[in-house]
A and B are shown apart, each in its own frame.
Chain A
Amino acid sequence: MWYKKIFSRKKASEAVETAALVAGTSQEAGGESLLGDILYSFRQNKTASIGLCVVVLLVFLAVFAPLICPYDPYEMDLDQQFLRPSAGHWFGTDRFGRDLFTRVVYGTRISLLVGLVPSFIAVSLGGILGVFSGYVGGRTDFWIMRLADVVMAFPSLLLALVVMYTLGATLFNIFIALSLVGWAGAARVVRSQVLSLKEMEFVEAARAIGVRDVVIMARHILPNCLPALIVLFTLRIPEAIMFEASLSFLGVGAQPPTPSWGLLVSRGKEFLFSAPWVAILPGVAIFVTVLAFNFMGDGFRDAIDPYMKD
C-alpha cells in the first residue's frame, strides 16, 4: 500500500542523516544565490517595487487603523449624513453619518486578512496534495487530480456562492469557501513540477541511501516547489480580495455593519446619483490594493521565472 511505502523506514537513521546533510548542503549552496538573484531581479522591477510599497502601506494602515482614524467605524451620527469629502471627512460620510475614510481604513484589515489567510491555506493545501499526488502516483494521483478537475471545472464564484449558501454568510466561512475554491490550481502546478523533480538525481540519491519517502517529499521536493508556490500565493491574494468583495457585494459575504469594501460599495450604489463618493471611494481602495498585489505577484513571477516575463 502507498502509505506503507511512504512511512516505512528503509535504512538506518545514519543514512537518513547523511542524505539530509548532502541535500541540505547543496540546497544551501544554491539557495542563497538563487534568493539573491530573485531579490535583485525583483528590486530592478519598478512596478513590482511600487506594488510592494503600496502593500507595506496597506499593512501599516491595517495595523495602526485605531491610531490613524479619528472616528469610530461603527459610530452613527444621523446629523452628518452624506457629507461630501472635506478636510474633516476625507472620504465624506455614508447614510448613517459614519466617516467613510475610517470605514475604508478598517476595511483594509478585512481585505488583507481575506487575501492572505485563505490564499495561504489554499496554496499550502494545494502544494501538499500536489507533492503527494505527483510523488506517490498511481491511484492516489488519479483521485486527487480528478478531484482537482472537478473543482476547477466549477466557475469559481458560483462554487463560492454554493459554499456560502451551505455554510452561511460570515467572514470565517468566506475563508473556507476561498480555500476550497483555490487549492486545485496550486495542486496541478506543483504536481507537474514534482513529476520531473522526482526523476532527478538528488531524489534518486536520497532514495538510494534509504531516506524515507515522506522525508524526501518534505525536505527535498517541497523546497524545490517553493518558488512556484510563492508566485501562486502572491497571485492568489488579489483574486481572494476580489472574491470577498464580490461575495460581500452580492450580500452573501460579510454582513453589515462590517466595513468590508465590497459591502461598502454595495450599500453606496443605492445613492450613486446623489452621493457617488460613497460607492466610488471604497472601490478605489479595492482597485489600488488588487493592482498593488498584481504588480507584486507579476514581479515575483518574473524574478523567479524570467522566461515568463513577456
Chain B
Amino acid sequence: MKKYIVKRILISIPVLLGITFVVFFLLNVVPGDPVAILMKEKASAEVIARVRAQMHLDDPWLVRYLRFLWGVLHGDFGVSYKLQRPVTDLILQAFPKTLVLALSAAIFSWIVGIPAGILSAVRQYSLPDYFFMGFSLTGVSMPIFWSALLFQYVFALKLGWLPVAGFYGWKYVILPAVVLGWSSAGLIARLTRSSLLDVMKKDYIRTARAKGVRELPVITGHALKNALLPVVTVMAIQVASLLSGAVITESVFGIPGLGRVAVDAIKNRDMPLLQGAVLFATVLVILGNLVADILYSFLDPRIRFEKK
C-alpha cells in the first residue's frame, strides 16, 4: 500500500513539472511587452529598459523558467503587476473563500445527488427516476452563469429571501453553493444510479434475495456498500474541480475567491497573478485526483491486494 502511494505521488511530479512549463510557456509567449503594458505610455524607453532588466525579462526563457520554478518551489509566485503585492499573499487571501464555496457546493451535491441516484436505481423507469434523471440532465445542460442569474432573479430580486451578491456570511454562500453544486449533484446522481443498477445485477444480491432478505436491507446492507465505491472517489475529485471551477460562480456572485482573482488578472493583463492562480488551482486538482486514487485503493480491498 505504501509502495502504491509513493508510486502515485512520484507519477504526479512530472505532471506538475509539465504544468509549470505549459503555464510559463503560454504566458511568456504573450505578444506585447509586460512592462510597457504595466507602465503604459507614461514611461520613457530608458525607464522601460531598466525595469525590464530589474524583472529579468531580458534573460533567456529557460533561465526565466528555472528561476520561476525555483520560486514556485519556495512558495514564491512573484509580485502582481497591478496590485504590487506578492501573488502568494493574494492567493492565500482568496483561497479560503473559494474553499468555503466549493465545500458547500460539494456537500449540497452529495446531499441531493446520492439519495436521488439511489431512488432512481431502486425505482428504475418510474416517475421519480425520470424526474431525477431530468434534474440531472438539466443541471449538466444549464450554463452556470445563466442558472446563477435565474437564481438571483427569483430568490434574491423577486422573493428577497437571500442576498444577490457578496460574501459577508453564511447567507451569502447558499445561492452560489446551490448553483455550483447543481451540475455536480446531477453527475453524482447519475453515477450512483448506474453503479447501483450494476451492483443489483450481481450474484450475491440474488443470493441475499433468495435467502429471503427484505429489499431494504439488501439495498442498504449489501448493494450500497459496493455501489458507493466509485461515487466516493468521484466526490474527492469533484471537490478539487469545484475549487478550481468556481470561476464563473465567483464572478456572478461577486465573491473575491481564486476564480475571481484569475478573471481579474486576465482583465488587468496581470501575468504573475494569473500564472499563480492557475498553477495553484491545477495543483489542487492533481491533489484531488491523488486523494481519490488513494481513497479508492483504501476502500476497495481488491485493488489493495492487487497492488501488493
Contact residues of A with B, CB < 8 Å? 146-147, 149-151, 153-155, 157-159, 161-166, 168, 238, 242, 245-246, 249-252, 262, 265-266, 269, 272-273, 276, 279-280, 283, 286-287, 290-291, 294, 310
Instruction: Give the contact stretch, choosing among B66-74, B79-87, B240-248, B292-300.
Output: B240-248
**Contact present for A155 and B22 (CB under 8 Å):** no
Q: In the complex, A196→B266 CA distance in Å?
A: 44
Q: Which residues of B contact A (CB under 8 A)?
A: 14-15, 18-19, 22-23, 26-27, 29-31, 124, 137-138, 140-146, 149-150, 152-153, 157, 193-194, 197-198, 241, 244-245, 247-248, 251-252, 262-263, 266-267, 269, 274, 277-278, 281-282, 285-286, 289
- Evaluate contact between B137 and A294: CB separation under 8 angstroms: yes
- A276 contacts which chain B residues (CB < 8 A)? 153
Q: Which of B252, B262, B282 contacts A161 (CB 8 A)?
A: B262
Give 19 pairs: A residue, B residue, CB < 8 Å, sorted on A.
Answer: A147-B18, A149-B15, A154-B282, A155-B245, A165-B266, A250-B263, A262-B143, A262-B145, A265-B143, A265-B145, A265-B149, A273-B157, A280-B150, A283-B146, A286-B146, A287-B146, A291-B138, A294-B141, A310-B198
The 10 closest A-B pairs by CB, nearest first: A283-B146, A150-B18, A155-B244, A291-B141, A290-B141, A249-B145, A310-B197, A166-B30, A165-B266, A149-B15
Are B30 and A165 in contact, CB atoms less than 8 angstroms apart? yes
Across the interface, which residues of A come within 8 angstroms of B142, CB to CB?
A: 287, 290
Query: Is the CB–CB distance between A246 and B144 below 8 Å?
Result: yes
A252 and B248 form a contact (CB under 8 A): no
A154 touches B19 (CB 8 A): yes
B residues within 8 A CB of A164?
266
Q: In the complex the two chains form, is B27's CB within 8 Å of A294's CB? A: no
Q: Which residues of A contact B23 (CB under 8 A)?
A: 162
Most-contacted residue by chain B among A159, A249, A262, A290 (CB, 10 A)? A249
> What residues of chain B lie closer than 8 Å to A157, measured between beta carbons?
245, 247-248
Instruction: Tell me how far the C-beta of B190 lies from the nearest C-beta in chain A, rounded to whole angstroms.
Output: 10
B143 is contacted by which of A166, A252, A269, A286 (Cβ under 8 Å)? A286
Minimum Cβ distance to chain A for residue B66 (Å): 18
